[in-house]
């Protein structure tokens, strides 16, 4: 009896061992690569690195024209003899920008595009029982045929995302279909009563003989209960990759409903030969339906949803674009805390891990290709450029097809200012390709062209605008006039706001809020950033036809040529600092408006030393009847519009002042406290005020008049040397005035008024 039991246990373990060995294996190859490259400071670098990795963390961050060239990554990987008969695939999740991959001296191929995954099969090149030498040559030099050609962000060189070795049986779900999972979940007809899904699986047979397999699809709900199980027998010929279609119907489906209820089913696809499982893939399934109305905005599962979104660049202080999972989790945590329900992942394909995070948390996602530029700099009229743009769109869609969080495919950003037939044709081709690849989602474009009738606006199914009212031009509330005009002229447009915002430095503060000069200027006061967002959000929130909006940007991000705010090489329009350690005041403005959690925040907490005895105090809060206390004395309670409460003419005493805001919700008290010091120094205050605000264009006008009058006075009475001096000064003043006038005329064509800025 014991012998029989031992044999049974032994057989069971043998079956389990065989079952495990028969499964697909994914082996991380992120550790210990030998890297050889160069930098601005050294002609050559040799070091051992872990992936993800970029060689531009220092030079780009310091504002240099960063190193763009070649780096070489090499690694030895031992393959055991027991794995003979398996298939081997190298999968790279992102290499910037052009990658050439070799193994054991054999060139496998080239991939052009830094943000999308790619896979090479290496089965025929593997050596068993010894090390295999992997070499990846990476080049992030500027190109004219690989997207992106330009943009206000750094193009970091390196193997910026993880690498894995996939090991399968000869018959498997192919990893070679644009590096996709090889499984596509088409949500053909979704309602609250019934969900019809087509599970398309691509089966590859690399063996020398035909193979009869069984494909099994198992769908389980969030607690593991099976809601569908179906099987199908399939013949896959030798050397063939075959599409299989499995129809699924789920009654009374539990819908994926954004932040409210991000419910996910799990789809398990099993490939069997007899009773043996030879491959398996699991994919998320979030069932949902949605549409956008030109008048009423966006609807998810039949319910109106205003998309309150942020844009995100995938870079981080000290690591550039080589983010690990901990960086992605931190970013998502901050986005969620602020209360956003949507993310525009700009301006390129982001990490697959971040899309998965969005699925599980209920974020709505706008995913896009790196077709980005300013004016006409973002494209070239060549067959190679068209091929690459199509390739990157196919990679974006196929690799991320099953993520329920993705609702829109972005096909261009800030490209084109004139009616260019070549550009129009390129974007029209992308639109057609997107609908062939995925008929279930809408396309969207992000434009900065203000003419409503521009042909580029009519190509995608939805259109949004990058408009910086209050920052680069006019006043924040003027955004409403612009959007209303577009809506009136083109009532069929589905209008969104793809970018809006302003720069803000947590180091810069002022009592009297004045508009700073936005470009290449060091003074970017935090107070003005909040002013712009308050005005812009009021406009957006009041208009139902705006289906969604995306703040530019959630985080400060690297842009090497920027010389503004309190740092070089940085775009400071973020709600949170580049290192994610500092939340700006504007972060709490949106948190108070968007988040259901209690918020009370005294603004200007970093503006510690005050020069005036009477100040304005602003609080962002979603609590009722917030009361302000200054040095223990109540200044009264207020309720504010858009979660913004303001107390005017609050008196400060000389020295320290303890300011406290108090609010309640459901019987619980919430507070925020700051300490400001009032430093009385009238003479210094007057001097600073003069330097900050009175050295203006009208002073130059006054000086020109004075010099003109002096010239008239001395015309007949002063000798030639002094007369020459006066004439030179007058001429310079007039030339400066002419430059200002010309600049004002040119600026007016772009909606810019230089007289609105503080130039010091």
Give Cα separations from 455 to 389, 416, 459, 460, 718 (angstroms): 19, 10, 7, 10, 64
Distance CA 378, CA 375 (A): 7
Pairwise CA distance, residues 241 & 238, whole Å: 9
Rounded to whole angstroms, the Cα distance separating 187 from 177 reads 20
Buried-state track 697-734, b at ≥16 Cβ within 10 A, e below 16 = eeeeeeebeebeebeeeeeeeeeeeebeebbebbeebe
Q: Which among 93, 368, 414, 510 is annotated as catalytic?
A: 414
Q: How far apart are CA 31 and CA 683, in angstroms?
A: 62
DSSP character at residue 654: B
Start-to-end CA distance of the chain, whole Å, equals 94
Q: Are 618 and 635 in contact (CB under 8 A)?
A: no
Taking residue 280's Cβ as centre, other Cβ atoms within 10 Å add up to 17
Q: Are strands 194-205 and 211-220 parallel, antiparallel or unpaired?
A: unpaired
d(CA 652, CA 656): 9
Q: Is 325 a catalytic residue?
A: no
Do you know the residue count of the chain?
Answer: 760
Closest by Cα among 577, 569, 647 to 614: 647
Q: Rounded to an integer, what distance in angstroms lies between the CA atom of residue 258 and that of residue 359?
A: 9
* 482 vs 467: CA distance, rounded Å: 9
Cα dist. 736→707, 722, 728, 729 in Å? 13, 21, 12, 11
Relative to beta strand 307-312, strand 342-345 is parallel
Catalytically active residues are 414
């Amino acid at each position: 009896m014991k012998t029989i039991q031992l044999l049974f246990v032994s057989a069971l373990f043998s079956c389990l061992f065989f079952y495990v060995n028969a499964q697909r294996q994914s082996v991380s190859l992120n550790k210990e690569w030998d890297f050889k490259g160069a930098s601005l400071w050294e002609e050559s670098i040799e070091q051992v690195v872990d992936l993800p990795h970029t060689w531009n963390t220092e030079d780009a961050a310091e504002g240099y024209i960063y190193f763009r060239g070649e780096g070489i990554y090499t690694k030895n990987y031992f393959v055991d003899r027991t794995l003979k008969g398996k298939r081997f695939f190298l999968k790279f999740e992102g290499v910037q920008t052009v990658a050439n991959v070799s193994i054991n001296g054999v060139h496998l191929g080239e991939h052009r595009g830094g943000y999308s995954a790619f896979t090479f099969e290496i089965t025929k090149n593997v050596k068993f029982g010894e090390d295999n030498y992997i070499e990846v040559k990476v080049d992030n030099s500027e190109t004219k045929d690989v997207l992106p050609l330009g943009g206000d962000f750094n193009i970091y060189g390196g193997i910026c995302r993880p690498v894995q070795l996939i090991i399968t049986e000869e018959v498997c779900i192919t990893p070679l279909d644009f590096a996709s999972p090889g499984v596509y979940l088409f949500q053909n007809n979704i309602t609250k009563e019934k969900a019809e899904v087509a599970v398309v699986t691509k089966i590859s047979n690399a063996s020398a003989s035909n193979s009869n397999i069984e494909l099994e699809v198992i769908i389980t709900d969030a607690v593991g209960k099976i809601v569908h199980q179906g099987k199908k027998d399939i013949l896959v010929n030798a050397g063939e990759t075959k599409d299989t279609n499995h129809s699924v119907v789920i009654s009374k489906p539990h819908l994926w409903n954004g932040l409210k209820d991000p419910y996910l089913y799990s789809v398990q696809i099993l490939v069997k030969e007899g009773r043996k499982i030879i491959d398996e893939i699991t994919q998320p399934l979030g069932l949902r339906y949605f549409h956008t109305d030109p008048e009423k905005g966006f609807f998810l599962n039949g319910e109106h949803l205003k998309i309150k979104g942020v844009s995100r660049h995938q870079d981080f202080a000290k690591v550039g674009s080589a983010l690990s999972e901990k960086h992605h989790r931190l970013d998502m945590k901050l986005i969620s805390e602020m209360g956003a329900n949507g993310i525009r992942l700009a301006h390129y394909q982001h990490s697959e891990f971040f899309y998965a995070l969005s699925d599980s948390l209920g974020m709505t996602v706008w995913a896009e290709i790196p077709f980005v530029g300013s004016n006409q700099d973002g494209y070239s009229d060549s067959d190679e450029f068209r091929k690459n743009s199509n390739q990157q769109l196919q990679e974006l869609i196929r690799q991320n097809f099953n993520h329920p969080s993705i609702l829109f495919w972005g096909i261009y950003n800030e490209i084109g200012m004139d009616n260019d037939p070549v550009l129009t044709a390129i974007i029209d081709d992308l639109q057609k390709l997107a609908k062939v690849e995925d008929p279930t989602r809408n396309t969207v474009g992000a434009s900065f062209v203000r003419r409503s009738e521009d042909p580029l606006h009519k190509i995608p199914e939805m259109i949004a605008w990058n408009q910086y009212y209050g920052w680069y031009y006019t006043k924040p509330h003027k955004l409403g006039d612009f959007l209303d005009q577009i809506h009136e002229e083109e009532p069929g447009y589905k209008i969104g706001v793809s970018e809006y915002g302003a720069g803000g430095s947590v180091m810069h503060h002022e009592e009297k809020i004045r508009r700073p000069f936005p470009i290449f200027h060091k003074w970017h006061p935090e107070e003005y950033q909040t002013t712009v967002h308050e005005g812009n959000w009021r406009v957006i929130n009041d208009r139902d036809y705006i289906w969604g909006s995306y703040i530019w940007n959630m985080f400060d991000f690297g842009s090497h040529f920027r010389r503004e705010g309190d740092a070089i090489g940085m775009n400071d329009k973020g709600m949170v600092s580049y290192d994610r350690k500092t939340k700006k005041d504007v972060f709490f403005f949106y948190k108070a408006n968007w988040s259901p959690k209690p918020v009370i925040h005294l603004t200007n907490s970093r503006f510690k030393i005050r020069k005036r005895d009477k100040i304005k105090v602003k609080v962002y809060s979603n609590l009722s009847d917030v009361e302000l206390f200054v040095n223990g004395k109540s200044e009264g309670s207020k309720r504010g519009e858009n979660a913004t409460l303001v107390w005017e003419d609050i008196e400060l005493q000389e020295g320290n002042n303890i300011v406290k805001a108090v609010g309640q919700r459901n019987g619980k008290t919430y507070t925020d406290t700051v300490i400001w010091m009032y430093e009385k120094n009238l003479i210094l205050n007057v001097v600073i005020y003069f330097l900050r605000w009175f050295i203006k264009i009208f002073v130059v006008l006054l000086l020109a008049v004075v010099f003109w009058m002096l010239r008239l006075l001395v015309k007949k009475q002063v000798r030639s040397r002094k007369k020459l001096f006066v004439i030179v000064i007058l001429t310079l003043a007039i030339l400066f005035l002419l430059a200002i006038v010309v600049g004002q005329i040119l600026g007016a064509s772009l909606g810019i008024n230089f007289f609105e800025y503080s130039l010091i």
